Structure 1
Amino acid sequence: MKILVLGSGVIGTTTAYYLARDGHEVTVIDRQPGPALETSFANAGEISPGYASPWAGPGIPQKAIKWLMMTHPPLILRASLDPAMIEWMLRILANCTPKAYAINKARMVRIAEYSRDLMVALRADTGIAYDERMRGTLQLFREQKQVDAAHKDIEVLEQYGVPYQVLDRAGCIAAEPGLANSPAPIAGGLRLPHDETGDCFIFTNKLADMAKALGVEFRFNTSIEAIEQQGDRITAVKTSAGTLTADHYVLAMGSFTPLLAKTIGLKLPIYPVKGYSITAPISDAAKAPVSTVLDESYKIAITRLGDRIRVGGMAELSGYNNRLDPKRRDTLAHCVNDLFPGASDTASASFWTGMRPMTPDGTPVLGRARQANLFINAGHGTLGWTMACGSGRAIADLIAGKKPEIDMKDLGPERYA
């Protein structure tokens, strides 16, 4: 079959790869000059299935007020009368219940664990390398109340058989020796030894090359202008390079997905939540992180990527913009220098921002739209890198008429109907 994939981030590229491996004729369209040049470019670098959790949960509204008042806030809200932002925030609040949190986290872990297994198989099949490490992830708690609150996540980990370790301060330092130099309080940690790290940009570009070898055509510097439909089917996509047709279409445009979907009457509650990162050269490897450390207080991930340290996080609600706020750079530098002093040269670090496509329940929109030949693969939020392989494989199976290896009944756009 002939398939058109809209978007060449990590989600669109992995989808194209699995479709091509199944023998389909695949074309990928993107306005950028190459793969993974937006949200996939400089993310935190972690592949953390066990930490796949919705932002909406019990107690979050109260925590959000506290976060907004912090010197280095993990949450930044640019007040706006944007109806999409207001509706999205109201939906977030509706998901801040114990029942909704349990349902949403279970969905997310289901996708993420499946995706991790496929990533392992992909490495074995192709030998793909991307500054990867298989050294686990440590969620670091600065306060005892954070340690006490971890039980709700541990219950889901046990439900899905995800290995974990509950650590005290000494255990955290044993897992990440660089923390021994930190003046920060460390009450404990939750470590997932099977989590991984890697450079998403490098991975996506190498996988794009493998997809090209399988016959995938990438059309870069090509803007998508409109989707044409007739009845319950998509008939064409109008682009800056002309009109393209296919048997099936995959919408994988990250935060821009709902804008295009709206033009064909498909309302998706995906909102751009801005994140920031710095990437700094390592000054002293002995003081640097071994893998990923998630600072629970600041909601920031510190990841070792070869001879670099990637520090990423924060959530800014400010619509569609790429402005770099120097205050956010200060927060990222403060966090890594507090936990791993002397490990990196943050003064010479590169600074980046990207828009994460967030749904109010945390779960991506994954499945067939009401248009019979349109499939949605978007809304992965901070977990696009973690969920990419599983999401791409599931969409490829749906298009081929196969039953995916994970339950898809509550993942599609119909849950928002």
Structure 2
Amino acid sequence: MDILISVTAKIAEYAVKPVGRQLGHVFFIHSHFKKLKTHVKKLKITRESVQHNIHTARRNAEDIKPAVEEWLKKVDDFVRESDEILANEGGHGRLCSTNLVHRHKLSRKVSKMAYEVLEMKNEGESFDTVSYKNVIPSADCSLPKVPDFLDFDSRKPIVKQIMDALSEDNVHRIGVHGMGGVGKTMLVKGIIRKIIESKFFDEVVMSTISQTPDFKSIQGQLADKLGLKFQQETLEGRALILRKRLKMERSILVVLDDIWENIDLETIGIPSVEDHMGCKILFTSRNKHLISTQMCANKFFEINVLGEDESWNLFKAMAGEIVEGIELKPIVIQIVKECAGLPIAITTVAKALRNKPSDIWNDALDQLRSVDVGMTNIGEIDKKVYLSLKLSYDCLGYKEVKLLFLLCSMFPEDFSINVEELHVYAMSMGFLHGVDTVVKGRRRD
């Protein structure tokens, strides 16, 4: 008898509980609507926060994560449906309807929606980031296409020596030195390209230091390559974050190009050897003493001018097959000689004279041989570089183009010039004749 009573009680329990739950939907409909309204309000706040983050990310040209976009679409649809139910079914009269079947069905639906809204709110709050950070390629490794600058006989041994030095465990600072225009930056960019292709380092970052170093600009260049965005304003705060980010890489090469004076790496945020054994630094400078003594390079290598054959091949690659013409070749040989084996002079002059008539080539040779009274106090090599750049400027042709070139020279070294801003500056200074809008300015490009 006791067993029968126990079994009957258990059956009653399983039968009554579901019934009670269903009746609860009828009697607690007001509570369910209130809960839905509260959760929807909180979900809208979360959606607004996510939308703000998406807007910020898009302003930074970042790609939005598909999961975030899918969540936002789902939320928009659900909020729209919830608002309609709250507006159409949430009136006092409807909630007090004597139609128990309708009340039960509506209350059950609203209760389920309230739970789903809460789940979506929690999902939105769980997004650490809404986008993929844009990482700028490790370095601009553009080199002459043919012939490859690293394939020159004078460069091959140095490239191998530098690559070997980078692989040595006890070498953490390497210097490359040579006169201005000899191709130090070009060589280093070629080495960076080889490193990236071979995955020699996990990461490579590069910054141009220049004659007047700006530490914040240097930090910014390195951070951009790493996809790092600074929130800090002070030099010290940025250095702390940059150092922490660099140490996250198992092996990383930091290239500091065109150093003119002793640079405090700690102030920038570049970790010391003791702080990060996997961080190596490659310097370029005109000053051998600077990189060997003050910057404490473990090994350093000198870059010299190109030989005659290499100079000719590089010039031909830049100017085209026209240089082999019977009438033009004797003049070209003299022009290449005036470039004194300096890659910057060779490439600048060759590009300026490409597709120009023969009389322009003759005039160019005269310009390269000329003596400017304003150049009496500069060295012979710097004079060659100056004359090649002046020739390139003279070959620009139109006055407007020359004025734009001079306007660009007013910006800091290695500055990323915004074309729209350049148009505005040029128009305001009257450089573009007959142009009074940015749209018209673009047509002059």
TM-score (norm 1): 0.21
**TM-score, with length taken from structure 2:** 0.20
Answer 1 or 2: higher relative contact order, Cα 8 Å, separation at least 6: 1
User: Going by fraction, where is strand more abundant, 1 or 2?
Assistant: 1
Asked which structure has the greater CA Rg, the reply is 2
